């Protein structure tokens, strides 16, 4: 298992609160999901609506083990919206969709347990 996914790994080095505030984590609703056929590892391309201030952004997500495309549309997810876009094969991923490794090391999406407005920021 990768160190970032290892639940027995020690906590990361301390950061100050101002550094934490620089990471902009928002909630959005998946409006479209499709298989990412050209990805090296199985993945989906997600289109996520973060509300009027941010809009719809694209994300490549390796979540195929726990989710079907049809089950993702309408689901709220959390993502980092202020990382620079990253080229993933032929797709430019604009946000980092967040999740945790389950017992098998597969991604389980991070989301609020009640609906919140799209674009709401984690604090």
CATH topology of domain 34-116: OB fold (Dihydrolipoamide Acetyltransferase, E2P) (2.40.50)
Total-model pTM: 0.91
Q: What is the pLDDT along the chain (123 residues), one digit of tens a residue?
A: 444 667 788 999 999 999 999 999 999 999 999 999 888 889 999 999 999 999 999 999 999 999 999 999 999 999 999 999 999 989 999 999 999 999 999 999 999 999 999 999 998
Integer Cα distance of 36 and 58 in angstroms: 12
Supply φ then ψ for residue 22, to 5 degrees.
-70, -20
84: CB partners within 8 A, 6+ apart: none
Delimit the domains of the chain by residue range. 34-116
In the sheet that holds 25-35, the strands lie side by side as: 56-61, 44-49, 25-35, 76-80, 96-97
3-state SS assignment for residue 72: helix
């Amino acid at each position: 298992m990768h160190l970032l996914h290892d639940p027995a790994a020690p906590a990361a080095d301390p950061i100050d609160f101002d550094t934490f505030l620089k990471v902009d984590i928002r909630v959005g609703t998946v409006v479209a999901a499709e298989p990412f056929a050209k990805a090296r590892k199985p993945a989906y391309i997600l289109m996520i609506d973060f509300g009027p201030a941010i809009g719809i952004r694209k994300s490549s997500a390796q979540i195929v083990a726990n989710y079907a495309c049809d089950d993702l549309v309408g689901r709220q997810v959390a993502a980092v919206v202020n990382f620079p876009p990253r080229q993933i094969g032929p797709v430019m991923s604009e946000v980092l969709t967040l999740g945790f490794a389950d017992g098998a090391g597969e991604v389980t999406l991070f989301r609020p347990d009640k609906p919140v407005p799209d674009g709401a920021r984690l604090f």
